[in-house]
Amino acid sequence: MRPSRQILGLLLLAVLAFAAGAAYRSAPIDAPGVGDRVQPSADHPMRGEGGKPSVPAEPEPAPQTTEPEPAPTPTQEPEPDPAPVEDPVPPGPYAAIVIDDFGFSRAMADEYGAVTIPLTWAVIPFQSASSYVAQKADELAIPYLIHMPMSATGDSRWSKKSGVLDSGMSAEHITLTMRRTMNAFPSAVGMNNHRGSRATKDKKVMETVMAELKERSLLFVDSRTIPGSVAYAKAKESGVPALYNSIFLDNQTTESSIREQFQRGLAVAKKRGWVVMIGHTRAATLAFLQKQTAESFPGGSFVTVPQLIQILSNGDGVTVASDSSDTRP
């Protein structure tokens, strides 16, 4: 029995539909057509011989800018600091002026700070303006001494005051008093005696004083308030840099008397090579010194006490006088 044409037609349509579906399922999505060139990508690397991926070529360098980059500046070695130049030694002879009794007036310190010739201040410790004066001296680069109170012959009331070094004191007492004072004025360059006509004649007292100064590398100026002082000699024996006073400028406070003493001091310097003179914080002394300049000592130089110590220690053609009867010519 032959199938009808209608049934054969349906079977043919089914076969064609099945074949078309199979072909569609076997083709990749977005597959290129024949003759299309596949561009290399991460998903489709180019294949070389044998089907192996080919090595990608090195990327081309970025194009240079039209302006070339500036050449790096060569690193330059820093120039060494110049060697410090020491201040030249001023021409001798030399005069060093010490001003005693600072510590009671701020105004006096301010006015003395404007004096143009070199001075060295001496500050009595623990007075109302002592700390101010020490600070002022530091600000102005003026060297200052501790003007240490010491006992005086015939003045027992003064000699028994607290802080005064007296003959007969124990070495421990003197040492503690000295240390307390020096600790309060750490920028002091040294010490000289305030009064002291009794204490400076006592060898044991002076030995203890010099031992403490030696320990701190401080200098000493013997004010020579009495001819029999042993302070300078004990300082030299102990290895303490030391000087001694030869002229008090203002025992008399008239201008003519101060000028006369001043000229006597310069004469000593010209004869010996150096001199230390002592004045005080008195209005007449201040007025006289305000008028002085470097030209007031023709052929010589005004210096500070530390400068004079340095000059003498270097032996710059200056005669160093020994402890002798030369006190206050």
**Domains in the chain with CATH codes:** 94-314 (3.20.20.370)
Distance CA 15, CA 26 (A): 17
pLDDT of residue 28: 44
Q: Which tokens belong to 27?
A: 């083709």
What sign for the dihedral angle of Cα 294, 297, 300, 301? negative
Q: List C-alpha distances in Å: 116 to 96, 143, 187, 220, 289.
A: 13, 14, 22, 24, 8
- Which amino acid belongs to residue 42? A
pLDDT of residue 314: 86
Distance CA 111, CA 124 (A): 18
pLDDT of residue 88: 77
Nearest to 304 by CA among 198, 86, 145: 145
Inter-residue contact 304 to 274 (CB < 8 Å): no
Torsion of CA 34, 35, 39, 45, to 10 degrees: 60
**Alpha-helical regions (H) of the chain:** 5-26, 106-112, 130-139, 156-159, 171-184, 203-215, 231-238, 255-272, 283-290, 305-314
Q: Which residues of the chain have pLDDT under 50?
A: 1, 22-67, 317, 319, 322-325, 327-329
* Exposure string for 274-310, b = 16+ CB within 10 A, e = fewer: bbbbbbbbbebbbebbeebeeeebeebbbbbbbbbbe
User: Against a cut of 0.85, is the pTM above it?
Assistant: no
pLDDT of residue 319: 47
